[in-house]
């Protein structure tokens, strides 16, 4: 268990409360709880805008109402908050220098940077990655893996109990084909140890097997027949068939693990809960649905119908629980899965990080679960969809030959590109360090480019832009962080000891701006955990790094005029560095010491 600390309330929250109290004193009781609408502002530290909309309700002029709130606020805060009336009825609010420095001290003193645990008590499934067994991971698995991992980390940080689930596609008809092919070709090479071209080969060996088996399946009717019979044997639990299937699954999982480790993603086989694990529940689920009348037989298939879900010709599109041949498919598995997660795992928040094209599927699964009473108002189920990764020119991402882009190759090219970029700058990294840093920068660049795009939008995979030291990139943030570390390394103690803040010290505008941004870290994390939008954290970290640059240009740290001034600025460096490092870590991005 990580130590849970009481959160440091942000100055924005404290200010909002003060305005709310003042409003309570001047407004009629029915409006006393209205939102004070306090936001960061470039006119002052914060601005409160509530008077504008509330004035109408009490038949007053906005400026008059704002004036009386201001008076109450000044009285209540005893001059501890600068209050100025502006425009048609805005209140410009300025906190004291002392409050700002105290806040820096409080966040810096805490190992969690004063971040609270508002998600405590929420048992959350984050389902992500979910590749298909015996197939290679490709560019289509990139976003689910990166976004899912970031959300899992962020929610955990906010106190949620996170259960990661890798919903592997391990139970389809393709297994009959693969197992039959292996029976026919006992010498086929498909295991990692059959190839000696290192880790990258591990992943492609199985894929090669898949392609060979597929080719025969498509051209040899007699083989295809045997393959189909073999699926039935597998699903009926034939031990010899299951043994080969288990080997295929284990070998695939090894290959996926190579990618997860390369990506620094926190998934392991411990989180695997493939489609096959729900096989045992499918009959029961179908029976339960039919008994409840939620599913009905239509053309021999067991189906769930929905108001307003129709095909192009206007006829209803059902969710097919059981096909007319008695077989179960993807939908049945997902129904068994949601029932299991809610009923057995006692989950109260369910996140499915799966591409947007499956939106309709999840709408139907959730609606069915709701009708069955599995999904209640106490449980939140969300399809966390996302847009596509596009190739050059915004076209679908394909290899030159028109094939799917292998994920491992894509990641490898990002690392090579990052290495080249780092080498264009003068550096003092040893060859081994360069290897490590290139990996951290390349993977960080890919993850950041993905996470900083609003989730539901498509983006173009453009390595040149991603690994740039300039602009809103992972490399820029990592580099900004190494600059802070290099400043701290020059201190007598190497910046190890947390600096002692003097709350009554002077405060320059760029110090104030940087301190107030650091103070937004906790509320930003809280917001991301609610909205499931990691790009907000990216945007925040980018602003923080820019504010640091402005601060550092205006305020010498190591050569500050007084010891007190230096100590305060060192504290700001330490807090900013810790916030950047932690923010990146929560996105799954490492922070090199030097680059």
Using rule CB under 6 A, residue 533 touches ligand ARG: no
What would the DSSP string read from start to end of 509-535?
A: HHHHHHHHHHTTHHHHHHHHHHHT-TH
Of 354, 422, 575, 587, the residue at the interface with ligand ARG (CB under 6 A) is 354
Contact segment (CB under 6 A) with ligand ARG among 126-134, 210-218, 310-318, 550-558 equals 126-134
Would you count residue 542 as binding ligand ARG (CB under 6 A)?
no
CA distances from 40 to 94, 322, 326 (A): 10, 55, 60
Torsion angle of C-alpha atoms 222, 227, 232, 238, degrees rounded to 10? 120
Provide the residue count of the chain. 595
CA distance 391 to 398: 7
Q: How far is CA 62 from CA 51, 58, 299, 446, in A?
A: 5, 10, 66, 49
Is 379 a binder of ligand ARG (CB under 6 A)? no
Beta carbon of residue 352, minimum distance to ligand ARG (angstroms, whole number):
6
Residues between 40 and 59 that touch ligand ARG (CB under 6 A): none
* Residue among 352, 386, 542, 548 that touches ligand ARG (CB under 6 A): 352
Indicate whether 334 belongs to the interface with ligand ARG (CB under 6 A): yes
CB of 330 to ligand ARG, least distance (A): 6
- For residue 144, the minimal CB distance to ligand ARG (Å) is 8
Q: Shortest Cβ distance from residue 117 to ligand ARG (Å)?
A: 28
Structure tokens at 326: 């008695």
User: Which of 11-19, 125-133, 295-303, 414-422 is the region at the interface with ligand ARG (rule: CB under 6 A)?
Assistant: 125-133
Q: Does 210 bind ligand ARG (CB under 6 A)?
A: no
Residue 217's CB is within 10 A of a number of other CB atoms, namely: 21
Q: How far is the CB of 404 from ligand ARG (least distance, A)?
A: 12
> Residue 192's closest CA among 183, 202, 182?
202
CA atoms of 316 and 307, how far apart (whole Å): 8
Q: Residue 356 Cβ, how far from ligand ARG at the closest point, in Å?
A: 12
| Contact between 136 and ligand ARG per CB under 6 A | no
Beta carbons of 11 and 102 less than 8 angstroms apart? no
Among 130, 235, 453, 473, binds ligand ARG (CB under 6 A): 130
520 counts as binding ligand ARG under rule CB under 6 A: no
**CB 470 within 8 Å of CB 510:** no
In terms of CB distance, is 383 or 417 closer to ligand ARG? 383
Residue 489 corresponds to which tokens in the numbers above? 């390394």
**3-class DSSP state for residue 23?**
helix
Span near ligand ARG by CB under 6 A; candidates 124-132, 218-226, 374-382, 466-474 = 124-132
Under the binding rule (CB under 6 A), the answer on residue 167 touching ligand ARG is yes
Strands 90-95, 81-86: pairing kind: antiparallel
Q: Binding of ligand ARG at residue 169 (CB under 6 A)?
A: yes
Structure tokens at 234: 């597998």
CA distance 297 to 167: 28
Q: How far is the CB of 482 from ligand ARG (least distance, A)?
A: 37
Q: Count interface residues toward ligand ARG (CB under 6 A).
A: 9
By CB under 6 A, name the binding residues for ligand ARG.
127, 130, 132, 167, 169, 334, 337, 352, 354
């Amino acid at each position: 268990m990580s130590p849970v600390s009481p959160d440091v309330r942000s100055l924005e929250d404290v200010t909002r409360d003060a305005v709310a109290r003042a409003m309570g004193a001047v407004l009629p009781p029915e409006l006393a709880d209205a939102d004070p609408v306090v936001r960061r502002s470039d006119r002052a530290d914060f601005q409160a805008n509530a008077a504008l909309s509330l004035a109408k309700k009490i038949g007053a002029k906005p400026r008059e109402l704002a004036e009386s709130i201001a008076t109450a606020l000044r009285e209540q805060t005893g001059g501890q908050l600068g209050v100025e009336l502006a425009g048609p009825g805005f209140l410009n609010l300025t906190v004291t220098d002392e409050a700002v420095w105290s806040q820096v001290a409080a966040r810096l003193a805490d190992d969690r940077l004063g971040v609270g645990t508002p998600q405590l008590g929420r048992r959350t499934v984050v389902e992500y990655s979910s590749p298909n067994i015996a197939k290679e991971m490709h560019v289509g698995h990139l976003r689910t893996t990166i976004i899912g991992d970031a959300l899992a980390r962020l929610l955990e940080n906010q106190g949620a109990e996170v259960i990661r689930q890798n919903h592997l596609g391990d139970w389809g008809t393709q297994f009959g084909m693969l197992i039959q092919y292996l029976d026919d070709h006992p010498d086929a090479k498909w295991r990692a140890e059959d190839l000696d071209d290192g880790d990258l080969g591990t992943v492609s060996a199985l894929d090669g097997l898949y392609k060979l088996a597929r080719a025969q399946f498509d051209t040899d009717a007699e083989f295809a027949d045997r393959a189909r019979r073999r699926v039935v044997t597998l699903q009926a639990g034939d031990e010899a068939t299951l043994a080969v299937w288990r080997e295929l699954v284990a070998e695939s999982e090894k290959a996926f693990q190579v990618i997860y480790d390369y990506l620094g993603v926190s998934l392991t086989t411990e989180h695997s809960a493939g489609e096959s694990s729900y096989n045992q529940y499918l009959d029961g689920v179908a029976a339960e649905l039919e008994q409840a009348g939620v599913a009905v037989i239509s053309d021999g298939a067991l189906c769930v119908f929905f108001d307003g879900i129709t095909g192009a010709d206007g006829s209803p599109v059902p969710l097919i629980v059981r096909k007319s041949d008695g077989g179960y498919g993807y939908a049945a598995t997902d129904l068994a899965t949601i029932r299991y997660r809610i009923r057995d795992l006692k989950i109260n928040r369910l996140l499915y990080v799966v591409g947007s094209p499956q939106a309709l599927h999840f709408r139907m699964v959730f609606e069915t679960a709701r009708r069955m009473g599995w999904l209640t108002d106490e449980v939140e189920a969300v399809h966390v969809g996302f847009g596509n990764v596009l190739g050059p020119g915004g076209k679908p991402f394909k290899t030159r030959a028109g094939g799917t882009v292998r994920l491992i190759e894509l990641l490898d090219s990002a690392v090579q590109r990052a290495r080249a970029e780092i080498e264009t700058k003068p550096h003092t990294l040893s060859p081994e360090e360069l290897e490590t840093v290139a990996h951290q920068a390349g993977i960080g660049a890919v993850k950041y480019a993905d996470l900083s795009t609003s989730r539901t939008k498509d983006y173009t995979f453009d390595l040149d832009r991603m690994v740039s030291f300039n602009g809103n990139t992972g490399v820029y943030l990592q580099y900004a962080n190494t600059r802070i570390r290099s400043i701290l390394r020059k201190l007598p103690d190497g910046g190890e000891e947390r600096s002692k803040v003097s709350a009554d010290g002077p405060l320059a505008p760029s110090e104030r701006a940087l301190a107030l941004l650091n103070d937004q870290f906790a509320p930003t994390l809280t917001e991301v955990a609610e909205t499931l939008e990691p790009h907000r954290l990216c945007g925040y970290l980018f602003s923080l790094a820019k504010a640091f640059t402005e601060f550092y240009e205006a305020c010498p740290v190591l050569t500050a005029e007084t010891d007190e001034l230096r100590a305060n600025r060192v504290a700001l460096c330490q807090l900013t560095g810790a916030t950047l490092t932690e923010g990146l870590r929560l996105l799954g991005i490492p922070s090199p010491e030097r680059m």
